Structure 1
Amino acid sequence: MTAVNAAPVAPRKRNRAIAIGLAAAILTAGVAGAAVQTTGAWFTATKTATGNTVTAGTLSLGNLGDSATGLVQASNAYPMTDAQAVNAADTAIPAAVIKIRNTGTLPLTASAVLSNLQVKSTTGANLATSNVKVSVWNGTAWGTPVLLSSIVTTPPAQFTVTNLASGVTSEIKLRVFFAGATTDDTYQGATVSFDANASAMQINKQ
C-alpha cells in the first residue's frame, strides 16, 4: 500500500497567511482601544462659566466749583498793576479756580469754555469790561495778564486738560483783577460774572 502524503505548504503562502493574521490582530486591538477611549477610561476635565458680563465704563465730570451750588467763585478782587498780578509770592490775591474733576471710570480729555462776560455795579448797572484783566496759572508761574474779554471771545475752547485719569482733578486758576490806571470808584462792590462750560471725551486707545 502506497502512503499518500499531504503536499507541503509553500513558504510564500505560509508567510502571507501569517501577515494576514497579524493585520487582523492589530485591527482588532485598534478597534478595542477606540472603544475603551470613548467610554471615558482616560482622565478628562471640563469647566463652564455662565452669566458672563462685560460692563461699559463711565465718562463724567464733577462740579466746576467748590461752592454748594458748584459755581466758580472768588471775592475781594481789586485794582492792581500787571506786575502785582503775576507776583506768585503774593498769595492774598484772589483767584477763581475752575476744577475739572474726572468722576467717571475712564481717562478723558476735557476742554473748558468761558462765555457771557458781564460786569455789573452794586445797583445792577452794566459796567465796561475793558479794564477787567486776568492772569492764568500755567503750573509754574502766572501768565502775562490780558483782558478777560479777549479770553471769553476766543473760540472754540480756552483751556484744555489732556489724559485726566479717573478720580483725578485738574485746576484752572485765574487771577481776575481790575486795571489800576482805569478803574474808578464805580467798580467798588462790582460783580464780574461769566459762564464756564466743560466738556469731556474719552481717550481712544489704539
Structure 2
Amino acid sequence: MDQSFRTISRRGDVSELYRLIQRDGNVLRRFDEVEFIETPLLVAADEGCIGFAMEMMKLKPSFARKLSQQGVSPIHLSLEKGHKEMVLRFLQMDKDFVRVTEKNAENKRLDVLQILIRMLKKDYYREEVNRKDEDGNTALHIAARNNQTQMLKLLLSSKADKHATNQSDLTALGVAEQHNNRESIRILRGRFIPGVSNIKSKWEKQIAKVSKQSVAILACFC
C-alpha cells in the first residue's frame, strides 16, 4: 500500500478516498490481486476508524476476508485492539466474518475471548457460549482439547455447559481425558470452584449492553 492510501485510511478520510477513486477507478483492484496484503480496511480496523471501514466495506466487501502478510484479518485486529463498536458493525454486516481463519489459527489468545464475553449481554451468555460447530463441539470442548485452562475457567464462569456432548458423544471432560490433559480434567471436574465466583463476578460487572450477535463466536477463539 502506498503511503497516501495508508495515511487516509489511518485518518479515516472518506472524502479523500473518493477523490482517489475519481482519479483512478481501479485503485482498489490491485488489493484483490494479492492473496496476503495490508488493505485500507485493515488499516482502518487497526485505528478504529469505523466510518471509513464501513464505507470501504460497501465498496469492497471482499477486503473483510483478506489477511495481511502476518495472517491477520480486519475483524480479529479490531478485537485485539479492543474496538468493540467496530466488531459489532462487522458482525451486523456479516456474522461469518468472525470465522475468517487466521494464518496462525492455533495461537488463540485469552484476551480476545475476554473481549467477546464482555460484549455479550448477561442473559445471552448461556446461548452463545454453548453454540456448537459442525462436529458438535462447543467452545468448552475446544478449550479442553487444547488444554487451555484459563479459557476453560472463563467459559465455565460464563455458563458454559460442561455436560454438552459432541458428535462423538463426548463431553468436554471426555475430550480432556482422551487427550490426557490433566489440568483441564481437574478444572472440568470442578476442583477450581472456589475461584469461579470471583471470576464470574468480575466479568458480569463488565458486560456491555449490546445487540444480540450470532453463531459460535466464542468457539472461534479457543
TM-score by length of 2: 0.17
More helix by share: 2
More strand by share: 1
Larger relative contact order (Cα-Cα within 8 Å, sequence gap ≥ 6): 1
Q: Which has the larger radius of gyration?
A: 1
